[in-house]
Structure 1
Amino acid sequence: MDEEHQNYFLKLEVIPPKLLAKILIEKRQPKGFSGWILKNEIRPISIYCYLYAKYGPPNGFMNFLRNDSSDNLVHWEWTLMNDDGMVMFQGHNYRTEVQFLGNFNRSEITKANLVSQIKADLGAYGKRMTAIRTQLEKWTEFVNPYHSIESTIEIQFNKLRELNLSPAVDRVHTPTSADELKTYQERFSKMAERYTFGTGLAFGLRCMLPVQAETFINLLIFALAKSEIREDDIKYRDFVSDTISNRLQLLHINCMGFERPVDHSHVSCRNFYQLMNDRNDLLHGNFNVNKLKIGDVYFNGNVPVKYEYGDLWQDTLGVRIESVKLDHIEASYSIVREFISYLLSLLSQKVKDQIELIMSVRDLGYSEKMSRMGVLFSSRAIEGFMFFESEFMTSESPSGE
């Protein structure tokens, strides 16, 4: 391959925005469309800084259509040209698209050549690329722990509600006739399967509900901790690892945005503390006989004498239902939501609005340089395709950068 072919993609020229606008308005763009999709053959940050260093700011038409936010289908675009037509580089949420308008049928026009030529050219613009990259704000995307556990709990509750469990209605009584005996095993097994699954869900929910509240407390600390706490690793670590009651006691002192301190005697706090105690017994496998009691039985040697009779349902499924407090699980959910609402009510309205926004999204961002958390993208997952690469020219591409 001669030098011209080896450098085909390096000889593209930038189209001045005014000329590009005239071409698009007068519909004089070349005919013929094709494209490639790049994932991480070249990292998007490298493509962006490279194009910026070589051609200046993004000049593509899509730049003029985007909202002044990160909620766009196309975030940036360069439109370049040569004798064969126009080449667009577009940055999407999950890929870089390279689009061709014109007659791009030469044998050297392959995705592998595009990647290899740009990689070879990166070094020529290294200093400019570094200067551009240092001007960019670096944010680290991370999963919002509060949103994760809240959504998991809601899914579990929906599953539990779908079972429509009602022990008083569903209870399979000891058979009192031959006809009832014929179907007793089948009826009991069917209910046992439903209630074993349902009480398992309830067990998990009782363990997770206090965790949701504690995660919310930690979210408040992470988002609102004062600089003298946040910038001192020991103070911050001691704060977030302290007991829940101590963290609550210090929220208005160590965090911004609180108009009032936490009142531990408030009904929301009292109910939450009781929920925590119940959860701890369950989670840590505490042997509290009074809470786990099935019934009393007396022995004369090896002869058992029951204090009172139950039945198979009560001694098996009934015990599980009682141990996970199935009939109180919705009330426990309300306790956690009321506790979170109470903590929100202690914040100024502006800070409360910000925290509620943070609570509502799955992914968050953190800028270490600015010690700041924020919502980087819309909660909607935006994705759109003008084409699929298999519809056009394809080629094997080199391994990732």
Structure 2
Amino acid sequence: MASYLDPPSWRSLTPDEQKAYFAELRGRVRAVRKRRAATRGRKAGLVLQESVSPFDAYTYLHARFGAPNGLQTMLARDDSDNLFHWDYYLKAGGANLQFVGASEEVHVHFDINVTDEQCVAFIEALRADFGRVGQDKGRFAASLEKWNIFPNQFLAIADRCAELYDDITTALPKIERKILADKLTTQALLAEKRRKSHAGWMKAVTTAPTELSVLMPVLFESFIGLIVALLIKPEVKSDADAFNAFVRSPLNQKLLAIADRCAGFARPLAQEDPVFGRYWTVVNRRNDIIHGNVDPVRDALEVVYFHGKRPLYKTGGDRMRQHWKRLIDRYRPQEVVDDYLAMHAFIVDILDHMTAGGRRLVEMVMEDTQPGWDNRRKIAGRLFPDHVATTVFEGMRYDWQLKRI
């Protein structure tokens, strides 16, 4: 174990040692399985999650030993979608030592099974050696691309809006067919054995249109914010007053100025464009909801007379059918759906005003759950796939599980 605790003595495998090591891997796996039963409480693998980051481990190893030299490195695809991205095969005295880099953890493999106390000592020795090669480690770290992962507010809101749109457009035809078209709605509902779907229909014509009406302008402005974040011209961004005046200007003014303030536009937006004017219906509906704007006479759904406590409706019909009709008149789900489609038409129209390169960039980030920004080069990029993949190996011990003896 002493050689594992002496990082300055570690070295890379020679080519011949590497070939021999690859050849004996299968046999070593069998041997480890046999040893495991006889050495319970001791494990040959250590997972670093909290004590040493992948960044620190990799920059340290690269500064000392150059490019990774392990099998996982050879097998990895040339992208970020790998379970394991790099590995180093080293010699610690006469023993083998292996570092394997997953996305957010580093696996360390020893030739021998190790106790918690030995793992703690290994981590301390490794971290202590960072300082010895600090300058080389720092120089290599400075050469790396630095990407900031930023939240894609547009995609999060777009997903929710799409769910609400789907709820409304799925339920509305069923309501029209099963309730509004049946003059004996009450009898029909009582005859149904399963009426749980009606609760979902109720949400689809009441809360879903309300939520979608509120979210649509937020979604649209997050789309505009994405364009500004990605394509704002450097001279505008560097002038704090000009930049703040632009981003804080009313939406109408911002849209008319966006082609001038941002790169990636082939032509400016025109206020005379029909989709430009249609969008303000969406904004006005949202404002009415937020500010509680209502005119009791103008917005009346129906007129009813009372003789004392006796209601006298001017129109007659099945009680439940009339109730559903009033809900639809009040929340206007079809109008909200039309607004949603109009908003998307406006987004597409804005994209149509952009250059091919500008549009590709914006559409790429619009669809990315974890977009990245390289502030040094002022560029955005798609860093990771949409799925998350990981794995767990039997017989591995995590650094946060270690008992400090």
* TM-score (norm: length of structure 2): 0.82
Q: Tell me, what secondary structure is at the counterpart of 2:109? A: strand
> Deviation digits for residues 220-259 of structure 1, max 9, x if unmatched?
1111111111223332232222221111101111011111
Task: Determine which of 19, 22, 29 is the counterpart of 1:22.
Answer: 19
**In the alignment, is the contact (CA less than 8 A) between 2:281 and 2:339 conserved in 1?**
no
* Number of corresponding residues: 387
Gaps in structure 1 of 5+ consecutive residues: none
Deviation of 1:91 after TM superposition, in Å, equals 1.8
* Residues 1:259 and 1:28: Cα distance change in structure 2 (over 3 Å): same
Partner of 1:75: 85
Distance in 1, matches of 2:155 and 2:258, equals: 21
Deviation of 1:10 after TM superposition, in Å, equals 5.2
- Please state if 1:196 is matched with 2:199: no
- Please state if 1:220 is matched with 2:217: no
* Residues 1:323 and 1:231: Cα distance change in structure 2 (over 3 Å): farther
* Residues 1:96 and 1:161: Cα distance change in structure 2 (over 3 Å): farther
Partner of 2:62: 52
| 2:200 counterpart letter in structure 1 | R
Q: Tell me, what secondary structure is at the counterpart of 1:242? A: coil
Partner of 1:150: 158
Q: Tell me, what secondary structure is at the counterpart of 2:358? A: helix
Distance in 2, matches of 1:151 and 1:287, equals: 30
Task: Determine which of 24, 29, 42 is the counterpart of 2:52.
Answer: 42
**In the alignment, is the contact (CA less than 8 A) between 1:144 and 1:363 conserved in 2?**
yes
| 1:111 counterpart letter in structure 2 | C
Q: Tell me, what secondary structure is at the counterpart of 1:37? A: strand
Listed as ranges, the matches of 1:162-177 within 5 Å are: 163=171, 166-171=174-179
**In the alignment, is the contact (CA less than 8 A) between 1:195 and 1:317 conserved in 2?**
no
Partner of 2:149: 141
* Residues 1:393 and 1:273: Cα distance change in structure 2 (over 3 Å): closer
Tell me whether 371-380 or 356-365 shows the greater mean CA deviation.
Answer: 371-380
Partner of 2:40: none
Deviation of 1:164 after TM superposition, in Å, equals 5.8
| 1:31 counterpart letter in structure 2 | R
Partner of 1:358: 365
Q: Tell me, what secondary structure is at the counterpart of 2:112? A: coil
**In the alignment, is the contact (CA less than 8 A) between 2:3 and 2:93 conserved in 1?**
no
**In the alignment, is the contact (CA less than 8 A) between 1:77 and 1:89 conserved in 2?**
yes
Partner of 1:12: 10
Partner of 1:271: 278
Partner of 1:114: 122
| 1:345 counterpart letter in structure 2 | D
Q: Tell me, what secondary structure is at the counterpart of 2:203? A: helix
Q: Tell me, what secondary structure is at the counterpart of 1:259? A: coil
| 2:272 counterpart letter in structure 1 | S
Partner of 2:295: 288
Task: Determine which of 221, 246, 259 is the counterpart of 2:253.
Answer: 246
Distance in 2, matches of 1:328 and 1:241, equals: 30
Deviation of 1:307 after TM superposition, in Å, equals 4.4
> Deviation digits for residues 269-291 of structure 1, max 9, x if unmatched?
22212222122212322123356
| 2:276 counterpart letter in structure 1 | C
| 2:136 counterpart letter in structure 1 | R
- Please state if 1:332 is matched with 2:339: yes
Deviation of 1:94 after TM superposition, in Å, equals 2.7
Distance in 2, matches of 1:182 and 1:371, equals: 60
Identity of aligned residues (%): 22
**In the alignment, is the contact (CA less than 8 A) between 2:184 and 2:318 conserved in 1?**
no
Distance in 1, matches of 2:390 and 2:309, equals: 71
Q: CA RMSD in A?
A: 3.5
* Residues 1:164 and 1:323: Cα distance change in structure 2 (over 3 Å): closer
* Residues 1:15 and 1:5: Cα distance change in structure 2 (over 3 Å): closer
Deviation of 1:369 after TM superposition, in Å, equals 3.0
**In the alignment, is the contact (CA less than 8 A) between 1:170 and 1:191 conserved in 2?**
no
Listed as ranges, the matches of 1:178-193 within 5 Å are: 180=187, 183=190, 193=199
Distance in 2, matches of 1:57 and 1:130, equals: 16
Distance in 2, matches of 1:232 and 1:375, equals: 28
**In the alignment, is the contact (CA less than 8 A) between 1:206 and 1:279 conserved in 2?**
yes
Deviation of 1:329 after TM superposition, in Å, equals 3.6
Distance in 2, matches of 1:181 and 1:328, equals: 28
| 2:137 counterpart letter in structure 1 | M
**In the alignment, is the contact (CA less than 8 A) between 1:71 and 1:378 conserved in 2?**
yes
**In the alignment, is the contact (CA less than 8 A) between 1:77 and 1:90 conserved in 2?**
yes
Q: Tell me, what secondary structure is at the counterpart of 2:52? A: coil
- Please state if 1:87 is matched with 2:97: yes
Partner of 1:96: 106
Q: Tell me, what secondary structure is at the counterpart of 1:89? A: strand
